[in-house]
Amino acid sequence: MAESPAWNDQLLTDPHAAADKRSRVQRMFAAIAPSYDLNNRLHSFWRDQAWRRRAVQLAGLKPTDVVVDVACGTGDLTLAMYAALWPQPGDWPPAKNQVIGVDFTYEMLPRGRDKAAARVEGRSSVNGRRLSAADYVTFINGDATALPLPDASADVVSIAFGIRNVQAPEQALAEFRRILRPGGRVIVLEFSEPTNPLIRSINRFYTHRVMPVTATLIARDKSGAYRYLPRSIGTFWSRQKMVDMLTAAGFAQVTQHPMTFGVAVCYRGVVGA
């Protein structure tokens, strides 16, 4: 008997209202994990990596910062944070567990670990074996609303295109605040709807009509993942509500940074002393 889709027309009216959203999102990401990176690149026209680079810049990393990348997926932002901590040959390498990727969909994590292992560093070796990013970056299975990390243990918490997929996003923001030290930064990278009416109309046609068809074909997906994506964006928090929710979670100096005509926005907040 064929497994039913994670999302159907009724649920997609407002996917955030589904009582079992967490398990549906988890099942959906497990289904699309093999083609996740390819679809990200193709359907963002390769802009997804530029958005992550901007997120790294806004994090304002210092060499000793501990970074926790939540909803890390296949590790793109996690490894971009790692690269920013160790930018030049001869620099002191990051410490073990200084960069941590966390995702609640286990099927994503081996892909992140494989990427890290493939990133061989020519700058250091142990017993003749050249080290890779896998020697410094740790990937763990965990939930954004109950992070398996101590209070005040991180300097940066990031989440890219993941906060709207969380069952209780306000609880996740509280967790980010809990594990950050004074002066720590939260970085939330998320899709948005452009404010320009013409660009918004074009973007909606693309994300609601074109992308679900082509991405589903590439992924051979039966979970409804690429029908969920545009609906989860259009029914999620507005930009102002994201700012308000970050402020309510205890973050100060909250700013928003739209990119690519407002298709994506990076939010930044700081923990006060």
pLDDT tens by residue, 36-49: 999 999 999 999 99
Q: What would the DSSP string read from start to end of 136-202? A: TEEEEE-BTTB-SS-TT-EEEEEEES-GGGSSSHHHHHHHHHHHEEEEEEEEEEEE---SSHHHHHH
Asked whether the predicted pLDDT for residue 133 surpasses 90, the reply is no
202-231 average pLDDT score: 96
Query: How would residue 1 be classed by pLDDT, with cut points 50, 70 and 90?
Result: very low
Q: What is the pLDDT of residue 179?
A: 98
Q: Report pLDDT digits (tens) over 96-106.
A: 789 999 999 99
Query: How would residue 63 be classed by pLDDT, with cut points 50, 70 and 90?
Result: confident
Q: What is the pLDDT of residue 95?
A: 76
Report the range of poorest mean pLDDT among 59-63, 126-130, 198-202, 249-253: 126-130
pTM confidence score: 0.94
The mean of the pLDDT values for the chain is: 93
Asked whether the predicted pLDDT for residue 219 surpasses 60, the reply is yes
194-212 average pLDDT score: 96
Measured distance CA(115)–CA(64) in Å, rounded: 23
Q: Report pLDDT digits (tens) over 145-197.
A: 999 999 999 999 999 999 999 999 999 999 999 999 999 999 999 999 999 99
Determine what percent of the chain is predicted with pLDDT higher than 70.
93
Task: From 82, 250, 108, 240, select the one nearest 165 (Cα to Cα).
Answer: 108
Query: How would residue 90 be classed by pLDDT, with cut points 50, 70 and 90?
Result: low
Asked whether the predicted pLDDT for residue 227 surpasses 80, the reply is yes
Measured distance CA(213)–CA(225) in Å, rounded: 11
Torsional class of 69: left (φ above 0), alpha (ψ -120 to 50), beta (otherwise)? beta
Torsional class of 71: left (φ above 0), alpha (ψ -120 to 50), beta (otherwise)? left
CA 176 centroid distance within chain: 13
